Amino acid sequence: MKISFLLVFIFIFAGCSSQKVKPTIDASMQVTRLPVQEGWNSNVIFSDSGKTKAILYYGHMRMFDKPPETLLDSSIQVDFFNENGIKTTTLTALKGKVNNITNDLYANDSVVAVSDSGITLKTQELMWRNKDRKIVSDKFVTIISPKEKIQGYGFESDQNLRNYTIYNITYVTRVDSVKNKIEPIPKSSKSKRK
């Protein structure tokens, strides 16, 4: 038995060669575009002086060094908070991107922001600027409030959607609360709400 085991071992060992085998390398793969981090179904908290300003929830995240950005997909949600820590606005989109240097958020594809005051913003693309907590877009936007519906190109607002400006207005209607009737309003080039 020992002899047969020894013979099998010798045959196996003799079958191994000292020749080195080189693995094949896929030359089409770009190593510089591999993410340094990747995550699923998690969140990122944006804070300042210990106070939460926003929480970003994502389905899938890929963080890159060059360029310094984080790509988000599989639906995203951002909850914005006021200075007292109360949630005031929720923004949703199918995709997004965060600039890792400025922490600016770019949301695109079916973007909807809803405030606690009943205002809804719809667009295909917008940016939340971290430095001044503003929501801006140069795309077509629709604002729906309990009293009016405004559409136009270009938008700027605080993150709570309380004070906003729409540039290049294309459509405005207001609801007459006494008659419960929608009345079109002549358009101007700019609308401001404060």
* Res 168: pLDDT: 94
pTM summary value: 0.74
* Res 184: pLDDT: 54
Per-residue pLDDT of the chain (194 residues; tens, 9 = 90+): 666 665 555 666 555 555 677 777 766 665 667 899 999 999 989 888 888 988 999 999 999 998 999 999 989 999 999 989 999 999 999 999 999 999 999 999 999 999 999 999 999 999 999 899 899 999 999 999 999 999 999 999 999 999 999 999 999 998 765 454 555 555 555 555 54
- Domain assignment present for 7: no
CATH (domain of 124): 2.60.450.10
Provide the domain limits for residue 111. Answer: 35-193
- Domain assignment present for 55: yes
Domain count, the chain: 1
Strand spans (E) along the chain: 37-48, 51-64, 69-81, 87-93, 95-99, 105-115, 120-129, 134-144, 148-158, 164-167, 169-176, 181-184, 190-193
